[in-house]
Amino acid sequence: MIQRMAATPTFAENNIPEMGIASGATPAFSPLYQQIKSLILQSLHRGEWKPGEAIPSEMDLAVRFRVSQGTVRKAIDELAAENLVIRRQGKGTYVATHAESHVQYRFLKLLPDNGDVNSEGPAERTIIDCKRQRASAEVARALCLHAGDAVLQVRRVLSFSQVPTILEDLWLPGGPFKGLTAERLTDDRGPMYALFEAEFGVRMVRAEEKIRAILPDAAQSLLLKVEQTTPLLSVERIAFTYNGIPMELRRGIYRTDTHHYRNELN
């Protein structure tokens, strides 16, 4: 239900029954373009347009929502700023994807010390483990599940130029990722998040990381082939889908003698 601020000359008291927003109590007022934005967001979440596909043109959306093109434009501007959508002049607006994103590995901030990302080629990936489990209290909290719920745990190593550099443990909610196997992961090339989109319809949109310095335990030092006295970067990530629902807990351990974690502050 779209609410207008007040009577406007052309569309006084105009409302569209666009897919009911649960139709509960009318939410606190928000600007038209925000309402449009969240309608588009719902369509993205619902999979009306898949990653990589074009969404309708601004004019089409304006007609559909019965607002001016400028209002749709402002909504899409925000979605583009949040990397949910990509505008291509002369072509259209496309649903962002982790595949062919050309900023592949968008969430991986580890770079080689000699800035050239291409010098080392793509990461070699080794799946060490992929098993179904019950969520520990800690994992359940991070993923908004109940302790004991089914989760998938994956462990893998990423190597650059044959040097094992990253050891990662992932926990994924069992429901959305039903059917994920070690083979599926091993066979795949390209970012893991691209596979999640294509196979499970789960698109990661935003993430939070907590970073610490640690020493590896015995198993970790073995897998990364470093001494147990080598300080390593511990990176705990929670990744979210469209509606801010956490869909992945990831604990990475990074070697930082030849690489570094790069961050930009604004």
Between 10 and 229, CB nearer to its own copies: 229
Q: Judged by CB under 7 A, how many residues of this single chain contact DNA? A: 31
Question: Among residues 107 and 200, whose Cβ is nearest to its own copies?
Answer: 107
**Cβ neighbours around 166 below 10 Å, total:** 22
Q: Min. distance of Cβ 210 from its own copies in angstroms?
A: 4
Of the candidate spans 5-13, 156-164, 189-197, 228-236, the one that interacts with DNA by CB under 7 A turns out to be 5-13
Using the minimum distance from each CB to its own copies, give the nearer residue, 99 or 207: 207
Question: Looking at beta carbons only, is 182 or 215 nearer to its own copies?
Answer: 215
Task: Tell which one of 52, 78, 92, 242 touches DNA (CB under 7 A).
Answer: 92
Task: Give the Å distances, CA to CA, from 70 to 22, 62, 83.
Answer: 27, 8, 20
Does residue 134 contact residue 111 with C-beta atoms inside 8 Å?
no
Q: Which does 231 bind (CB under 5 to 8 A by kind): its own copies, DNA, none?
A: its own copies
Q: Which is nearer to its own copies, 172 or 235 (CB)?
A: 235
Q: Any contact of residue 52 with DNA (CB under 7 A)?
A: no
73 binds, among its own copies, DNA, none (CB under 5 to 8 A by kind): DNA
171-178: long-range pairs with CB below 8 Å, 24+: 171/135, 171/139, 171/142, 171/143, 171/248, 171/249, 171/250, 172/247, 172/248, 173/143, 173/145, 173/149, 173/247, 174/132, 174/149, 174/150, 175/150, 176/200, 176/201, 176/202, 176/247, 177/152, 177/202
Closest CA to 139 of 108, 171, 167: 171
Beta bridge partner(s), residue 158: 125, 166
Q: Which does 71 bind (CB under 5 to 8 A by kind): DNA, its own copies, none?
A: DNA
- The binding site for DNA (CB under 7 A) comprises 4-11, 31-34, 55, 57-60, 67-71, 73-74, 87-93
